Chains A and B, each alone.
Chain A
Amino acid sequence: GQSLEQPSEVTAVEGAIVQINCTYQTSGFYGLSWYQQHDGGAPTFLSYNALDGLEETGRFSSFLSRSDSYGYLLLQELQMKDSASYLCAVPLNNQGGKLIFGQGTELSVKP
């Protein structure tokens, strides 16, 4: 079957760096995505990794290691507004379709 594992919650202070991990088990692999969701609002796309390595977009970076079935989201210079749930997701095919989401990691940023 397909599954994704991520920690349920992480706490960090403003200005710090935090890493949110995601491990996956899938029969085929087509990439790893990250979404941000504020308190019951719409999930919004953050990043996508299809190949190994680090992708940087401003304060957020995402890393993938296909050999370890593992990825992480790195948030730098944390701000209070970064408090949200972060979900990793994998597509089950390469045809723009079915995404399986992790349960989400609740990030709390403290002053």
Chain B
Amino acid sequence: DAGVIQSPRHEVTEMGQEVTLRCKPISGHNSLFWYRQTMMRGLELLIYFNNNVPIDDSGMPEDRFSAKMPNASFSTLKIQPSEPRDSAVYFCASSSSRADTQYFGPGTRLTVL
């Protein structure tokens, strides 16, 4: 299996621009998670989907962030407009119905200037 695929791997943008991060989960996994990691705050869950339905978005920092999962093999995380404090590594992860194991993608390193 190819594992969780994320794109782009690196993104540099200017404040105010729209940013779209993409994720393809492992085939057969029914849960998908978006995380953000920074030195200050560590690894934080932003939102997760189960069977393509958003279950908990309480970690989404504000309305500038939105996430969609139109089908079982694709999800996006969008930031509009982006701000310098959004600079972080964004990870996507997927899992099967078991609670104990999540498989992470390689992450997208976002820099907002």
Contacts and interface: CB of A to CB of B under 8 A. Distances in A.
A71 interface: no
Interface in B1-21: 4
Contacts of A94: 99
A38 to B, nearest CB: 11
A99 to B, nearest CB: 6
Contact of A101 (B42, B55, B109): B42
Q: Give the size range of B's interface with the partner.
A: 20 to 34
Interface residues of A, number: 25
Nearest to B56: A98
Contacts of B95: 96
Contact of B50 (A40, A97, A101): A97
B106 A96 contact: no
A100 B106 CA distance: 19
A86 B33 CA distance: 20
A44 B107 CA distance: 12
Interface string A67-111: 000000000000000000001000101111111111110000000
